[in-house]
Chain A
């Protein structure tokens, strides 16, 4: 068995994260202004408002996306809002449906009346442009094959102008298309729930006001869970994440010390 230095580094990370998770400590997480803004918006909407939830992510980002999406869906369902789910990445289709089903069941919400899942459409630019004029045109049937006209919670939804906001749950750049192509003919309020890797991509849109609010990463999930007083994957993972970050910092320091010592030794010889 050929064990190299990197193997010890990986093993150390696993032990570090694993131990912290087994201990199960849950540190308090201060809520940032961005998360508070998202919470305040959904909280302040009148009950029964319609929100569109776009699952714009792939299966690989599920571990990070799931706590975020569930926290947001739980909040929306607890406030009695009607949710319309769509997906612009094929892999996210069934994930979105299952997450909506799970959150809806916890609050006794019924499919068709309180929420609906329209499913996947390719070519997200064309789909968003069509939905800006007619959601029915883009999705004549829902994910389960029901006719659009027969779905109760869609009776008040003709176009994107009829939804209070779009919540884009994304691990890539699809949220940008909602901001760019969903604005016509009326301004569409876009909220983003994104992986941590996408936060810096969307920060300029948040600063310019093109995006109303954004929650990102496991930390965002932990903050949102705190706001809705419901523990979840975000809160459970926060201490592990902090431990992993300290471990990475320690590895960087140790790596640099070893490198500079070796360089000095080489120079001396």
Chain B
């Protein structure tokens, strides 16, 4: 998969903050008129997707693969408060904005795409899951261009949102929107190529695959445990960790992958992206992919 473009937006907040950054300035260069009726979850999708595409003409059949860990939160919470605390029925448009694919509707409308659109989640591997679906369709020739985005919102009030996420009140709360525009068109020019996402059931399998890669740089989309760190260091000499905070809180592993793509582009060397799902105390699974300089 050739990397045509990428875009990352990542914010972190403390639980006592009462305002979130305005995203409209990020949307305005591509859509001068204000988009009515959209909430923050949709704004994150639209801002990320439009800035990644950055005005490039897209084929109508471009596949759009959206990842979210939590889905829309602020609007469903507002609807729930209305029903149970105020005994009101939801406003029609509020209800529609609770649905998982409403964000994709606005984005595909603005991009004028009509092909395969999907919203998929897989906890901390959500971004990797969307990338997996895009790779499958690109590899099998169903599409030639794919837009992959992972986004999750931080819903106000942030102290409540911290409770939802199960994070400490002292810990920073993240929101983000991370995007890749990919192509398998032989004429496309790209300085970085991505391999296929590969899933592993445990670290042993992951290490076996890493040994075969002959790659010296690994970027983790998670904070490795001491055991993971030491085992990974036996097969890769340079183990880095994504610099962004709260990666595990949403579909944000794409932020780590994009950091790696920047490193590969700059250093003209290969690297490995590694993401991990380790939620609810379950044994984790891993997802890895190679990133090479073209």
Partners in one complex: no
What residues make up the interface of B, taking CB atoms closer than 8 Å to A?
none
What residues make up the interface of A, taking CB atoms closer than 8 Å to B?
none
